[in-house]
């Protein structure tokens, strides 16, 4: 099962987002993220939030009679994005298919929201479902011990950054390969690598890391 969550961060390229969202089985819109799906003419399967930042001019229940709507108080201990991610994980666990959850609108000009959303990914304890945060210039995924294939994306750098005090990784197929490298949370080893061929491999031996594929804007 493939689930897309559109939350309320900065979404500048709606044509890119529309192309991305055509690949999913379920679409979740979160608070102000509903404005992005409305602009694309899409009806979410599930709408979540306290709607304190949503600026629609029509009652959500009236506009989306077929969608499941989960409304929360604005006074709560979780962000709307965290609640949506919890719901998406719950839905994915009920599916027999391999599960992928992609989060759109997780980044933006609000650094506190961006950091909080990255920490949500970093706090995951289960390897499945696979969960990523994406925009046109960035793709971020928390890795668990194991080996991962990384496909080459033109113009993108590949960074592996430790969330723990230290993490041990092996890189193959990159301009800067390494065997059992020790990455430190307080260091920059692992930033801005590039693939030499069409694919490379990252093996995480221990610790928690982010795999980030990022590019400079033209």
* Spatial CA neighbour of 190 closest among 165, 171, 215, 217: 171
The arithmetic mean of pLDDT across residues 90-107, rounded, is 88
- Angstrom CA distances, 56 to 66, 79, 89, stand at 17, 20, 27
Residues 27-62: tens digit of each pLDDT: 999 998 999 999 999 999 999 998 887 777 667 877
- Total number of domains in the chain: 2
Q: Are residues 99 and 180 in the same domain?
A: no
117, 61: one domain: yes
Backbone angles phi, psi at 208, to 5 degrees: -115, 135
Instruction: Give this prediction's pTM.
Output: 0.91
Instruction: Give the pLDDT score at 57.
Output: 63
Distance between CA atoms of 64 and 80, rounded to whole angstroms? 19
Q: pLDDT tens-digit profile of 7-33?
A: 999 899 999 999 999 999 999 999 989
pLDDT average, residue stretch 151-155: 94
Residue found under tokens 């000009």: 109
Please give the residue range of the domain that contains residue 53.
Answer: 2-136
> What number of other Cβ atoms are within 10 A of residue 114's Cβ?
16
pLDDT for position 136: 95
Residue 75: inside a domain, yes or no? yes
Q: How confident is the model at residue 63 (pLDDT cuts 50, 70, 90)?
A: confident
Out of 106, 136, 166, pick the residue that ends a domain: 136
**Mean pLDDT, residues 66-92 taken together:** 91
Q: Are 159 and 88 found together in one domain?
A: no
Q: How many CB atoms lie within 10 A of CB 80?
A: 24
Residue 168's pLDDT band (cuts 50, 70, 90): very high
Mean pLDDT of the chain: 92
pLDDT at 61: 78
Which is higher by pLDDT, 151 or 63?
A: 151
């Amino acid at each position: 099962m493939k689930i897309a969550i559109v939350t309320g961060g900065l979404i500048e390229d709606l044509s890119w987002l529309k192309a991305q969202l055509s690949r999913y089985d379920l679409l979740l819109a979160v608070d102000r993220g509903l404005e992005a799906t409305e602009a694309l003419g899409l009806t979410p399967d599930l709408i979540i939030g306290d709607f304190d930042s949503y600026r629609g001019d029509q009652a959500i229940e009236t506009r989306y009679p077929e969608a499941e709507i989960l409304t929360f108080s604005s006074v709560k201990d979780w962000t709307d994005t965290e609640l949506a991610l919890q719901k998406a994980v719950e839905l994915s666990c009920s599916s027999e298919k391999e599960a992928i959850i992609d989060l759109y609108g997780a980044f933006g000009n609000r650094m506190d929201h961006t950091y909080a959303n990255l920490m949500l990914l970093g706090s995951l304890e289960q390897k499945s479902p696979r969960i990523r945060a994406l925009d046109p210039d960035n793709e971020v995924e928390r890795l668990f011990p194991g080996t991962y294939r990384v496909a080459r994306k033109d113009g993108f750098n590949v960074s592996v950054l430790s969330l723990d005090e230290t993490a041990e990784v092996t890189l193959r197929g990159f301009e800067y390969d390494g065997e059992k490298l020790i990455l430190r949370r307080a260091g920059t080893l692992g930033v801005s690598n590039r693939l030499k061929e069409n694919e490379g491999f990252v093996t995480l031996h221990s610790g928690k890391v982010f795999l980030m594929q990022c590019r400079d804007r033209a």
